[in-house]
Structure 1
Amino acid sequence: MYAILFDIDGTLVSTGGAGQLAFAETFAAEFGVEELSGKVPFAGRSDRAIAGDLMRVHGVDPHEENWQRFRAGYLQRLPSALQRKTGRVLPGVIELLDQLAAAGHPLVGLLTGNIREGADHKLQHYGLADRFDFGGFGDVSHERSEIAAAALAEAQRLAREEYSPASRLEICELAGAMVIGDTIHDVSCARAIGAFAVAVPTGGATREELAAAQPDLLLDDLSDARPLLAEIERAMGG
């Protein structure tokens, strides 16, 4: 078995800024912050880390109660923000997911800074909700490397469950893992879990910025995924 872990924003879909809009409207409604500081980066980071930094910048105590207050407000506003912003599924995504489904052997999951329910809202909006069996999410951790470790652990658990009861005594380890993302943070979290790093400049980062992070594979987008699929076959011994 082989695990393929997809980032969401800028990799699978472009939401047209719906997430940032929902952030801004939540901070305005819940904490009286009329305009979010541009000093806090969003790309490649967990929702929990972004919200915490914004609270600190705007003088809001980033304790658990305020995180839960933000979380509830954000999830309430995100579906409307998705409706109001013009977004799309990015090139090659549907075709690649179809190819992976047809292959049968990869475990296809998520590695995202989105909180789980936020990820669900985005994937449902773009018709991708039934494409992923598991994932690592930004509900608890501030660090993408910790989210990556959680996603990999879940993939390993699912790989073991693929074996019949009669073979459960066998050692069942993943043949490998791949992280597909659009930021340098996706490359670094792939390195943190020993995964093959695929980068695509379809989000905020340029091709040059991603190249400097030295991913294992750098594609313009996912339209021609043959090199990616060849790596999976190689790792699987095909």
Structure 2
Amino acid sequence: MNREKGGFEQLKTVLFWDIDGTLLNTKGAGRSAMEAAIADLIGDRTDLSALNMAGLTDWDICSRILEKCNLEPTAENIEQLEKLYIKHLPEMLLRCPGYVLGGVREILENLQQRTDVLSLVLTGNMEAGGRAKLAHYGLDSYFPLGAFSRRSRERVEIAQRAMILAEQQLGKLTPDRLYVIGDTPHDVRCGQAIGARAIAIASGHHGAEELRA
């Protein structure tokens, strides 16, 4: 914990932020990059418009895409698809008319000035992809730390790593000062898994009633 003037201990609030649908909307840049990646891999274009990717980890998304294309979702194949995806993502971010959600920059700027709040990324994006999105929209400076997708289909595992990361910075944390902010039921479950409160953003795929349930 930080100690303020006068010796009083200041309690930190930790905010774990999802990226897609919470901070920004790429307007399909990720999906387009995946379509280009699978085309590189199999030599033919695959339409992924029917695949619901909201809230899934990139590892899970790649696994499902490979299965859709009748390819074995081995670690080697998934990693190859991820590399191709990262190759195409910057171009697709430029092509697609994405945007930062309303109020996000102002909120992050305000939080950055405060000493009682720590903001971290908690996302299903692989780190290279998540960082590329944040940098493209000028949000990377607000999130020097974060937990990203690795070799897992489970968002809960990412949430647990995010919690460890926060405690490495601040020491032992109490659940009443932890918040997971996201736009899918997966994000809500992440909050439940680490004892945090969930702030659900009804910005796209999931409505307020579904998220509340």
User: What TM-score, normalized to structure 1?
Assistant: 0.80
- Equivalent residue runs for 1:166-181 within 5 Å: 173-175=172-174, 176-181=177-182
Whole-Å Cα distance in 1 between the matches of residues 120 and 131 of structure 2? 13
Aligned to 2:190: 189
Unmatched runs of 5 consecutive residues or more in structure 1: 161-172, 213-238
Per the alignment, do residues 149 and 202 of structure 1 end up closer, same or farther by CA in structure 2, a change over 3 Å counting?
Answer: same
CA contact (8 A) 1:37 1:57 kept: no
Deviation digits for residues 13-53 of structure 1, max 9, x if unmatched?
01011001101110111123522355642000100001101
Aligned to 1:139: 150
- Equivalent residue runs for 1:4-83 within 5 Å: 4-37=15-48, 40-83=51-94
SS in structure 1 opposite 2:140? coil
Which of 88, 105, 110 aligns to 2:116? It is 105
Misfit runs of 4+, over 3 Å: 36-40
CA contact (8 A) 2:32 2:92 kept: yes
Question: Shift of the alpha carbon at 1:177?
Answer: 1.3
Whole-Å Cα distance in 2 between the matches of residues 211 and 32 of structure 1? 43
Deviation digits for residues 131-188 of structure 1, max 9, x if unmatched?
013111112221001111011110110113xxxxxxxxxxxx1243110001111111
CA contact (8 A) 2:18 2:121 kept: yes
Whole-Å Cα distance in 1 between the matches of residues 48 and 93 of structure 2? 22
Per the alignment, do residues 139 and 33 of structure 1 end up closer, same or farther by CA in structure 2, a change over 3 Å counting?
Answer: farther
Aligned to 1:221: none
CA contact (8 A) 1:191 1:197 kept: yes
SS in structure 2 opposite 1:127? coil
- Kindly provide the amino acid, as one letter, of the partner of residue 163 in structure 2: L
User: What TM-score, normalized to structure 2?
Assistant: 0.89
Per the alignment, do residues 53 and 24 of structure 1 end up closer, same or farther by CA in structure 2, a change over 3 Å counting?
Answer: same
Q: Which has the higher strand share?
A: 2
SS in structure 2 opposite 1:114? strand
- Kindly provide the amino acid, as one letter, of the partner of residue 173 in structure 2: L
CA contact (8 A) 2:31 2:48 kept: no
| Matched pairs, number | 200
CA contact (8 A) 1:9 1:203 kept: no
Unmatched runs of 5 consecutive residues or more in structure 2: 1-11
Whole-Å Cα distance in 2 between the matches of residues 83 and 56 of structure 1? 29
CA contact (8 A) 2:35 2:48 kept: no
RMSD of aligned alpha carbons: 1.4
Question: Shift of the alpha carbon at 1:203?
Answer: 2.8
Whole-Å Cα distance in 1 between the matches of residues 212 and 60 of structure 2? 25
% identity of equivalent residues? 38
